[in-house]
Structure 1
């Protein structure tokens, strides 16, 4: 059998409802992000059933997939656009995150030409070093962008945290974003109602009642699908954490030394593995590898199973301490991290089974 990814739609729906209700109580709009699911229409539908209004995506092909499957907008384009794809994005997305004046100019031209309205959120880098104008230069650049817009509507500012530099959402960097919005409003005499300041990592600020008032939109994926917050290194207690379970078949069982024999170099991925001498150990090889997921970030449901290492098509696990009998042809199941889920959803060799 192929590796199987079991997708529990009821748990995804429950998590989306809980996040939506939690944020709504604090005056925050939820944008539910589907990019980790490859724009999966089955998942998008349960997000709609949960009451989600805006779906966020990072690839225009995923938006096209959702629309062709009958999922309607509004859609938000999360990845700042390539100039070469702006025509498609303007036609399909209701909200676009932007960070370049040339991109804003091109969107405005297309909107005017097509007599089409779209909303823009200008991204500000408050320290994480991914997309956005650096916060010290933000007011000037966002004001310039606002002056360009007529058919396109610059409706707010946003930021992203945790995804590149691992910078945590804080009261300080949220206030920084609010101050930039206030100064832009003062200089342009226009209203910018959206402050899109949060993702999963910012939920902790809301839970602890430390989020400054005025931040009113979060873009959330990880918490809905996995009930985790990798940036803060925590599991979110009030969310389901097993909506996705990955299953793989055992294809070999052998007892071998725990340290390779012979001179060692690097593995097939250019990594230098570290081995610890535990003597001879009982090992299983699974029909699963780096092409299918991120094996090193799998979490065995049987806590006595230890993932040792993996190559493209094989994952080796230590089963010496497992209580039950394991045979060739049996399967093992795992919870996933965000990175492991992303690759599994993207891989065509992993069968998706909807529960």
Structure 2
């Protein structure tokens, strides 16, 4: 096999997806399976569908188009507000999108009418994390305008937390979201089908709540792919946490001083870390760099430590004997690491 490479255990990912769908069903919460960390890979999409997912989601229209070209026909949600420059592509490939700007929804309506299609929207509400979302006191106004538009169907409201400032979903903000939904229904004399509460960060709240109010949808990615809830990275009971590994190859192995010499400046990335003199160390270089993966997303095997990373090299130290040229080093990888490694064309992807 070629290096560097990701080894992805599709069976474990499918089992995680099925487990979460089963766990959330008694709470009347539907799972939207998010494919973005895998760049809409059709293999992942099919695994999720086979595991019971009835709707997929992604943040990039390119990923969604890839799934459509591969024959994926289930409903797909665009989970980043649409760009005006991509409206036709969104309408032709996405059944539903998350929105915050009335000008965008108006443009969706005009384009949908020209194309002879209908499009569903969820209005996102700001609950404190200060990423996407309409301020609650503007919700009536945007819903009123949305309902007046042709070829647009208002499906519900939603929220996103924990992604920017780490604001946790809890009883207070989820109850408030549910109340907003009820208030809108009363005001407009309508029924909202979807109250989309958030992402994998919502699982702690969901599994510890006596009452999840009216929240009936969560958009899950990290919890499916890594078997953890997203706030504290705690393992979900019964889930697999060893679904993805990254393998890199040793291209140099030497005893070297731990302290550099010569006049020192910041490195190529503007960094100048403190250095501790540890004497001579067993240092190895991997054919893997920041262009391939965020090194902060790698978890080293026992006895090895990542010391630094440049564009094309990761420097590691081994506590015991020096590593051999050509030796493969297997890292565990987290969401941050996978997000970057999947994007790199230099990292090969293998599904087992």
| TM-score, normalisation: structure 2 | 0.95
Q: Name which of 324, 337, 343 aligns with 2:334.
A: 337
CA contact (8 A) 2:146 2:154 kept: yes
Taking a change above 3 Å as real, the CA distance of residues 237 and 310 of structure 1, as seen in their structure-2 partners, is: farther
Match of 2:165 in 1: 165
Residues 121-164 of structure 1 show CA distances to partners (whole Å, capped at 9, x for unaligned) of 001110111111123x2433333344333421111011111111
Instruction: Give the distance between the partners of 2:288 and 2:36, measured in 1 at CA.
Output: 23
Match of 1:36 in 2: 37
Task: Give the CA deviation at 1:228.
Answer: 2.9
SS at match of 1:234: coil
SS at match of 1:288: coil
Moved more, 167-176 or 146-155: 146-155
Match of 1:100 in 2: 101
Pairing 1:1-355 to 2, within 5 Å after superposition: 1-135=2-136, 137-209=137-209, 212-300=212-300, 302-321=301-320, 326-355=323-352
CA contact (8 A) 1:54 1:75 kept: yes
SS at match of 1:133: coil
Taking a change above 3 Å as real, the CA distance of residues 227 and 259 of structure 1, as seen in their structure-2 partners, is: farther
Instruction: Give the distance between the partners of 1:199 and 1:144, measured in 2 at CA.
Output: 27
Taking a change above 3 Å as real, the CA distance of residues 63 and 315 of structure 1, as seen in their structure-2 partners, is: same
Count residues with an aligned counterpart.
351
| TM-score, normalisation: structure 1 | 0.94
Instruction: Give the distance between the partners of 1:341 and 1:147, measured in 2 at CA.
Output: 40
CA contact (8 A) 1:124 1:158 kept: yes
CA contact (8 A) 1:296 1:307 kept: no
Structure 1 residue runs of 5 or longer lacking an equivalent are: none
Instruction: Give the distance between the partners of 2:184 and 2:158, measured in 1 at CA.
Output: 13
SS at match of 1:225: helix
Instruction: Give the distance between the partners of 2:57 and 2:51, measured in 1 at CA.
Output: 15
SS at match of 2:276: coil
SS at match of 1:48: helix
Taking a change above 3 Å as real, the CA distance of residues 138 and 242 of structure 1, as seen in their structure-2 partners, is: farther
Instruction: Give the distance between the partners of 2:240 and 2:149, measured in 1 at CA.
Output: 42
Instruction: Give the distance between the partners of 1:144 and 1:265, measured in 2 at CA.
Output: 58
Task: Give the CA deviation at 1:211.
Answer: 5.6
Residues 61-88 of structure 1 show CA distances to partners (whole Å, capped at 9, x for unaligned) of 1111111111112000011011111111
Taking a change above 3 Å as real, the CA distance of residues 152 and 272 of structure 1, as seen in their structure-2 partners, is: same
Instruction: Give the distance between the partners of 1:34 and 1:174, measured in 2 at CA.
Output: 24
Taking a change above 3 Å as real, the CA distance of residues 233 and 241 of structure 1, as seen in their structure-2 partners, is: closer
Instruction: Give the distance between the partners of 2:210 and 2:302, measured in 1 at CA.
Output: 35
SS at match of 1:157: strand
SS at match of 1:328: coil
SS at match of 1:143: helix
Instruction: Give the distance between the partners of 1:237 and 1:292, measured in 2 at CA.
Output: 32
SS at match of 2:27: coil
Moved more, 224-233 or 83-92: 224-233
Runs of 4+ with deviation above 6 angstroms: none
Instruction: Give the distance between the partners of 1:53 and 1:245, measured in 2 at CA.
Output: 28
Instruction: Give the distance between the partners of 2:269 and 2:33, measured in 1 at CA.
Output: 34
Task: Give the CA deviation at 1:110.
Answer: 2.4
